[in-house]
Amino acid sequence: MQKLIEKGRLQVNGKVLESNKRVKKGDVLEIEFETEKSHLQAEDMNLEIIFDNPDFAVVSKDPRVNTHTVPGEFGNTGTLVNALLHHFGNLSVINGVERPGIVHRLDKDTSGLILVAKNDRSMRELQKKMADRKIKKFYYAVVLGLVKDKEGMIESFIGRDPNDRKKMTTENPVNPKLARTKFTLLEHIDNKYSLLEIELFTGRTHQIRVHMSAIGYPIVGDKVYGNEKANKEVATKYGLDRQWLHARRLILNLFGVDYDFVAPLKKDIAVMLEKNGIKVD
């Protein structure tokens, strides 16, 4: 507040407030806040648009593209946000000018559906629905091992790994939060892998990757929680150099309208299924 006064951005009864003046009951205060500036640039990047209307859009993120910038880590170019600014222009910035339109995020090496809010009204409503678990999120994943159960529910606490803050864990986690993940077996692949549909009931960092690794079925290609030997095998045989994880489907209702979005598989992960005679749109 003192800085606002020093910069002449606080007025009382239409006059700039001086630092030695006191405010009295009945005075009318006007505050002029400084607008946060963004250094993000719109970039003409490839963007798979699944849906677009005046309130929100749904896009399918490419792998190896960060959802948004992180100060001091990714710079401010080449992210999904840069592409969104080029294709859609102004987006909601109530979550900060460095994350315009972003309702939720995906890990860099995870592809698939992301919701984009075009205005503040949509952002507030979509985030409320996310918080209230009223948006259904489904992923496709290929894991190492032949999953025996047709379906299963994983429920455990996830938090930061006490030995590595960049990782999450279910074992003695720091600041743990309850996480729930449901998986359904779709196909066995090449006598050593399994294609799963996974539904998230919570949205913890790295949740699917941590949960599947914890029960002995790590995501194929996962460089953090996966199996190094298996990762090399799929890289050699199928050319896969990232985790086989794809945000496949979103089901929601916004402003009284029901929506059901599906993202086609990206080419790099579809290869593994095609070579084993498995067809997925």
Cα separation, 119 vs 160, whole angstroms? 33
Q: Quick count: other Cβ atoms within 10 Å of Cβ 176?
A: 16
Nearest to 187, CA basis, from 246, 128, 146: 146
107 assigned to active site: yes
**Residue-wise DSSP of 158-224:** EEEETTEEEEEESSS-EEEEEEEEEEEEEEEETTTEEEEEEEESS--TTHHHHHHHHTT-PBTT-TT
Q: What is residue 4's three-state secondary structure? A: helix
H-helix or E-strand spanning residue 3: helix 2-6
CA 254 to chain CA mean position, Å: 19
> What order do you get walking across the sheet with 10-12 strand by strand?
15-16, 10-12, 29-31
- Which residue among 52, 55, 107, 132 is the active-site one? 107
- Active site residues per annotation: 107
